[in-house]
Amino acid sequence: MMNNYNDNNKNFNNEELAHYESNPYTAPYNNIQSAPAPVKQKKHTGAKAAAFVLAMALVSGGSIACYRTLEIKDPASASTSASSSKDENEKVTPLDKEMNALSASALSLIDAAENGNKILTTEEIAEKVMPSVVGIESTFSVPNNQGSYYFGFGEFGGNNDSSATGTGTGVVITTDGYIVTNAHVIYDSEHGAGKAESISVLLDDEKSYDAEIVGYDTDYDLAVLKIDADEDLTPAEFGKSDNLKLGEDVVAIGNPLGFDLMNTVTRGIVSGLDRKITINDKNMSLIQTDAAINSGNSGGPLINKYGQVIGINSSKMSNSYSSGATIEGIGFAIPSDIVSKIVDDLMEYGYVTGKPQFGISCQDVTETVSKMYNLPIGVYVTAVSEDSAAEKAGLKPGDIITGIDDVEVKTSEELNAQKNTHQAGDKIKLTFIRNDEEKTVTITLDEVKKNK
């Protein structure tokens, strides 16, 4: 299982940039040679006339082919139509290739026009989206009562709590100051710091404002903040991530390594769609990109060719994925279609609606534990919350869950994965062992109504 991922967490200010390296790029010009003097040809009036007629026929045929192709909205059907009109043994000429390329280009432009979008250059994308990108600085209180250890890029020790500051990126979503970012930018679950004690937002014009947390969800790694700015902000335009295609150009904007490099623009492609990734025991479905995403980019936008945000950058693959391996250009973003639903819930309710829960605490009965204590392999229930779905169904501490809806589960991760295929209010059949006897019970799942 791939689980060696960097959470692209906060970028802590006490890290110093030790070295910058210039990397100029020069593109040599191709050698240009003079064309040889034309050789005089004998006059062949009949041949010229025939060539002229042939040329007119080619131009007319090409124009008709192009016109007919433009009427087809589906590029796949256009390709099928073009190939079926030719004999399978007929040789494809350079003119055919040129016409196919022109047709594909025209189709792309027409698709953009029909959707009311214009394909933008990288410069135009940066100019359009940059006013909507902000910097986020979060201050955490780090518990140190368990001795000295590393938190982010700094070492803290002793018995007193210490403060740690992290930076990230956010995207403006409304004119009146609502901003979306990653949950891990404002909430630390890895080191036990929890929710940030204070958060400030730095705008493109270098004005800074205190921010309040409207809502966050660590499962989806999304949070919504609110600031009271002196004037209306510029919200980003969001597009549909479901419309993305593999290999499509994308641009990322963020604040890698802190605010000294604020509003860094990187470019890449969509390297993968619907990637099933596990980060910090959370299963996520993400967009993969090779656009550079580094610490501090968390919460920033991934942007399509129309200047629309189609993802919120969240994480990158760690260089510690395997021994001796160097990993470059493997970053991940939360699809905008997911972001839209989660953000709506966070703004309206402060939590994500419809998320199911049992109301239990549990731990795994591994194969080793099973042999030591003569217990069945499964998920051991250590506690049952009062008035929860589990308590109402009769579940008790000491029960060992082995299946959901006839699907075998051996770990709490598998249990949650099956649970999360349902919505709050759904009825599921739970199989468990109690006193060496297998039992089944029907549970109506509760809704999670708090930040997690």
Contact 433, 396 (CB under 8 A): no
DSSP state of 387: T
Which positions ≥6 away from 21 have C-beta within 8 Å? Answer: none
Q: Is 406 helix (H, G, I), strand (E, B) or coil?
A: coil
Distance CA 255, CA 301 (A): 11
Contact 244, 288 (CB under 8 A): no
Q: Is 249 helix (H, G, I), strand (E, B) or coil?
A: strand
34 catalytic per annotation: no
* Separation of CA 338 from chain center: 9
Contact 261, 292 (CB under 8 A): no
DSSP letters spanning 88-109 = TTSPPPHHHHHHHHHHHHHHHH
Catalytic residue among 271, 295, 298, 314: 298
298 catalytic per annotation: yes
Distance CA 170, CA 161 (A): 28
Structure tokens at 273: 């769609």
Q: Exposed, middle or buried, 350 (CB in 10 Å: 0-12/13-18/19+)?
A: middle
Q: Is 367 helix (H, G, I), strand (E, B) or coil?
A: helix
241 catalytic per annotation: no
Distance CA 250, CA 286 (A): 15
Distance CA 91, CA 89 (A): 6
Catalytic residue among 188, 217, 221, 446: 221
In 191-281 the beta strands, taken as DSSP E runs, fall at 194-195, 198-202, 208-210, 212-217, 222-226, 249-254, 264-279
Q: Which of these, 392, 390, 415, 391, lies nearest to 405 by C-alpha position?
A: 415
Distance CA 102, CA 69 (A): 10
* Separation of CA 319 from chain center: 19
Map 281-329 to HEC letters.
CEEEEEEEECCCCCCCCCCCEEECCCCCEEEEEEEEECCCCCCCCCCCC
| Positions marked active-site | 184, 221, 298
